[in-house]
Every structure is written in structure tokens, then in C-alpha cells.
Amino acid sequence: MRKDVTVHMVVKNEDRFIWYAISSVLPYVDKIFICDTGSQDSTINILSSFNDKKIVLDKKNVQYLSDIGKIRQFQIEQTATEWIWVVDGDEIYTDGLCQEIGKIIEKKGDELEGIVVRRYDLLGDVYHFQDETAGKYRLFGQSGHFALRLINKKKISGLHIEGIYPYEGYYDYKGEELIYHPSIKYMFTEGHLFHAMYLSRSTLGKNLEETFHRQKFKMEKGNKITGKKSIPEVFFRNHPKIVPNVLGKRSVDYEIMAEFLTPLKKVKRKIWKNKV
């Protein structure tokens, strides 16, 4: 893989998945910019456990949501590579997906402005994911669960951040958001990242003081991910003792509640779909 790529991460209280997220992409990139915005759990200790010159760690106490956009803007300005790879602290990649992204950059990178990565939104554990009929996105003529995760900085004149977290976006010099650019300039991956948005992202769990855009736990059956090879390889690798093991399966209580709630949610989605 041509490693002309810099990862951008802005994290806070991510100690359950942050090691896996970083480790899953680390071999495939030139540099990783990480800014912690005031973690209270073990996130900082886990970040400090990495002994790799690729990782540049910064710490800032964020008082206002608008500060997050400023951090992302600073990361853009510090990036010397052609490609930016946005990775959240709860996003874990398989080796196969990283290799696929590398091949896209190698073969078509000079033609593309960005790469959209498909994802599994995990439910209850790392073995189940939400069906794409729920909360699907519409982007560049397609609908489903995915996000614009790689941006070719060289191809976007005046690349910058506008908006306030969690609704900030990437814009060009004309003030046009990239998601409204011609679809021919963007490519979708076949592989999926594993997105732990609906799982507990911190060992502090419900003891976290913050509630905004964090407590997104969902209970429903979802679809099962079958076969060990489908799970990110990094979950099975040796890791520091401070890093939590996230391979546990859903509890009996979860399964019972999911069995009850799933039919109700399907009806609700069908009603919503008919109204749209």
C-alpha cells in the first residue's frame, strides 16, 4: 500500500475500543494525529501505551462544541500527506478493508476526491449489526450505512471545516460541502468497518458525566456476523492489560429485551418509511 495517508482522530472517553481502532489502521498509514479532549477514563493511558513514532498525541480540554471543529481544522493544516483518513475512536477496520482502501488509493487515487466506507453498526456485541433498513444514509446516489472517511486533500482546494459538532462537515474553498460534489469523484468500499456507536465505548459506562451524543445504546436483534474471519483480526491480537477485552457476547437480558423490542421497531420504521 502507498502510505501517503494521515489519520485524523478526535477522541474522549473511548477506552473500550480506542486501542483496537488505532491498531487496526496503524500498519497502513504514515501518521496518526490524535487529540484527546478531556478523557476521564483510561483512554490517555491506553494512548500512551503505543510506542510508535507515527502517532502524534495532543491533549485539549474542550469547553465548547465548536472547539472540536477547530481541532479538526488544525489537523487538516498540519497534514503533509495527500490523503486524510478520518477514524473515530469506536471504528475498527479489518485487514482486508484496509488493504482494499490501499488498492483504491493506489489505482484510482489520482482521480478521486474521496472514499466512502461501508460500516456495520454493532448491536449488543461485536457479532451483531443493525439492518441497513434502519437509519440509513443517502450519499452520492446510494443509501445504507456508510460514511465519507477518506479525503484527497490534494484534490480539494481550500479544504476546511464548517459547522458545530456533531454536525460539522468538510467543505471546499467555495463553501460547498464535499457530500454535494459529483458522485463520480467518490468511490464506495465493498468491505465494512465495525462501528461501536451503539455499544458502551468507555469502562465508565453510565458514570460518565457527559450525555450529549454519547449514550446511544440500542436493543434489537440485528443481523449476525458469522465466521471468525469476518471479525476484525485486531480483536484477537495480544494487547496491553489495560485494554479491555471486547469479545464478550450479549447477555441473556439483552437477548430477551431485543426479542421483544425488535418487532416494535420494525413496525415503527415501516410507518416512518410510508410517511416519507
CA atoms in the 13 A half-sphere facing the CB of 225 = 22
Cα–Cα separations (whole angstroms), residue 91 to 94, 163, 195:
10, 22, 5
Mean pLDDT by runs of 10 across the 276 residues of the chain is 85 97 98 97 97 96 94 98 98 97 96 97 96 87 96 98 96 98 98 95 78 67 82 96 96 95 84 62
pTM, full prediction: 0.94
What's the pLDDT at 174?
A: 97
What's the pLDDT at 229?
A: 60
Residue 178 CB contacts under 8 Å (≥ 6 apart), including other chains:
113, 114, 148, 151, 156, 169, 170, 171, 172
Residues in the chain: 276
CATH code: domain 1-276 is 3.90.550
What's the pLDDT at 218?
A: 86
CA atoms of 175 and 158, how far apart (whole Å): 9
